[in-house]
Amino acid sequence: PDALGAPGGDLPWGTLAGVDQEGCGYASALLNLSDSLNEVGASITQLNNLNAQVQGLSGAFDSACQTGCTACGLTCTSCPKTLRHRSSCDRDLPTANDLEACAAAGLVAFMNTVGWQ
C-alpha cells in the first residue's frame, strides 16, 4: 500500500505461480473473516443487514475460488474448506494439482480486481 493505505499495485499471489505460503495465508485469512462474520451476523438480530452483505461476499469468494480451480483444470464449486488453514497450499507440489493453491490464486485475483483496501 501507499502512504495513505491505498493499493500501490496488485497483490503478488493472483496466479498459481505466484502463490506461496504468504498468499495462502492471505486467502485463508479472508475466508476465516468471512466465515466469522457469517456466524456473528446470523446469531445477532441487529446485524441482519451485515449478514446479507457478508453472504454476498461469501458467494463472490466462492465464485473466485471456482475461477481459480477452473484455471488449473480442477473443479470446486466453493472455496475448499481446507483453505481455511493458512498452510494448506502444498508448495512442495506447486502445480495445477494443488486445489488449495489454485483456489487461493483465484481469490487473490478477485481481490486485485475489486481492490483490496
* pLDDT tens-place string over residues 28-52: 999 999 998 888 776 777 776 777 7
Would you say the pTM of this structure is higher than 0.75? yes
Confidence of residue 61 (pLDDT cuts 50, 70, 90): very high
In angstroms, what CA-CA distances link 8 with 12, 18, 24, 111, 115?
12, 18, 20, 13, 10
**Considering Cα of 19, then 20, then 21, then 25, what sign does the dihedral take?**
negative
> Are 13 and 19 within 8 A, CB to CB?
yes
The pLDDT of residue 8 is: 76
* Arithmetic mean of pLDDT, 98-117: 90
Least Cα distance to 61 among 100, 99, 24, 31 occurs for 31
